[in-house]
């Protein structure tokens, strides 16, 4: 069992952007957001009108942020919120042996174009031109073609999120995703940290895979799209 405070995982974006990943954050008050080129996510110190208003101040008129929350959002004049879907947060509960990894490569900035191409083909979720700055990313190539990858996104005290797990359709069913995840899990554990992840609540096959690997569901978040209301007389809607 991790010695770290698991309550931090109840508000992971906030604690990532105010501690370990503060250099990637925009904002200094009750709201933080990643630079849009890194990730669309934002975090609030608390789900209050003032904090949501502070997030609005971090957004340009044509921008939006994605806010995870376990509660309904307050209504704030001039801010439009739209519930998108639900995510299950799963924490790693088992140690894992180092898998075979002779074909695994470390991905660097020079690989971003290939990573974005793989993301476009596989749709694992948000991944931008600077997402690689959030942590370690690894992949597998077939010749020059990147056919699979996984990496570390949110990082907070004692916890590291595994994200961008994707495999080209032509290479699925070979255990590649599990192998990449197990390599990351092993490395994260060796650093004394606990892996966790987020998955859509309707992605039954992925949830089943993560459970087989040793992850257990701990909390469900709603994802909200937050942006300026087109009409200043409109407040938030759900």
For 102, the domain range is 90-217
Is the CB of residue 26 less than 8 Å from the CB of residue 33? yes
Looking at the structure, do residues 29 and 124 belong to the same domain, yes or no?
A: no
101 and 25 co-located in one domain: no
Give the pLDDT score at 236.
Answer: 45
Are 123 and 210 in a shared domain?
A: yes
pLDDT digits (tens, 9 = 90+) for 133-171: 999 999 999 999 999 999 999 999 999 999 999 999 999
Long-range contacts of 60-63 (CB under 8 A, 24+ apart): 61/228, 63/36, 63/227
Q: Which residues contact 194 (CB under 8 A, 6 or more apart)?
A: 2, 4, 91, 92, 158, 159, 160, 188
**Residue 103 located in a structural domain:** yes
How much is the average pLDDT of 11-18?
98
Q: Say how many domains are in the chain.
A: 2
Say yes or no: 10 and 71 in one domain: yes
The model's pLDDT over 17-27, given as tens digits with 9 standing for 90+, comes to 999 999 999 99
- Cα separation, 161 vs 144, whole angstroms: 28
In a domain, 238, yes or no: no
Nearest residue to 94 via CA among 204, 218, 2: 2
* pLDDT at residue 231, rounded to an integer: 61
pTM flag (> 0.85): yes
Q: Is 157 helix (H, G, I), strand (E, B) or coil?
A: coil
For helices 176-190 and 204-213, the axis angle rounded to 10 degrees is: 50
Share of the chain above pLDDT 90, in %: 90
CA distance 170 to 137: 21
Assess whether 72 and 152 both reside in one domain: no
Residue 143 in domain: yes
Q: Are residues 98 and 210 in the same domain?
A: yes
Q: Do residues 47 and 69 make contact, with C-beta atoms less than 8 angstroms apart?
A: yes
Kindly report the CATH number assigned to the domain that includes residue 43.
3.40.630.30
Q: Is 233 domain-assigned?
A: no
- Position 1 in a domain: no
Tell me the H-state helices in the chain: 12-17, 49-57, 112-122, 176-190, 204-213
In a domain, 68, yes or no: yes
Residue 179 forms part of a structural domain? yes
The reply to whether 101 and 160 lie within a common domain is yes
Q: Which of 184, 84, 69, 66 is nearest to 128 (CA)?
A: 66
Q: Does 109 lie in the same domain as 58? A: no
* 102 lies in the same domain as 213: yes
128, 187: one domain: yes
Indicate the pLDDT class of residue 31, thresholds 50, 70 and 90.
very high
Q: Are residues 164 and 62 in the same domain?
A: no
Identify whether residues 54 and 100 lie together within a single domain: no
Is residue 234, in this structure, part of any structural domain at all?
Answer: no
């Amino acid at each position: 069992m991790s010695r770290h405070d698991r309550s931090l995982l109840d508000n992971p974006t906030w604690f990532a952007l105010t501690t370990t990943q503060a250099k990637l954050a925009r904002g200094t008050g009750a709201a933080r957001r990643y630079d849009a080129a890194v990730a669309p996510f934002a975090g609030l110190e608390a789900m209050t009108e003032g904090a949501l208003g502070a997030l609005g101040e971090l957004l340009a008129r044509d921008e939006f942020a994605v806010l995870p929350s376990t509660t309904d959002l307050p209504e704030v004049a001039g801010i439009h919120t739209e519930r998108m879907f639900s995510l299950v947060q799963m924490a790693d509960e088992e140690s894992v042996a180092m898998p075979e990894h002779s074909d695994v490569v470390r991905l660097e900035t020079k690989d971003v174009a290939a990573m974005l191409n793989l993301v476009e083909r596989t749709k694992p979720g948000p991944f931008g031109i600077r997402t690689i700055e959030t942590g370690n990313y690894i992949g597998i190539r077939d010749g020059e073609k990147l056919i699979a990858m996984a990496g570390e996104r949110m990082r907070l005290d004692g916890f590291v999120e595994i994200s961008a797990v994707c495999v080209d359709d032509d290479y699925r069913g070979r255990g590649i995703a599990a192998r990449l995840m197990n390599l990351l899990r092993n490395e994260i554990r060796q650093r004394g940290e606990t892996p966790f992840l987020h998955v859509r609540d309707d992605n039954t096959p992925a949830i089943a895979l993560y459970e087989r690997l040793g992850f257990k569901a701990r909390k469900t978040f709603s994802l909200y799209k937050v942006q300026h209301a087109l009409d200043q007389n409109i407040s938030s809607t759900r």
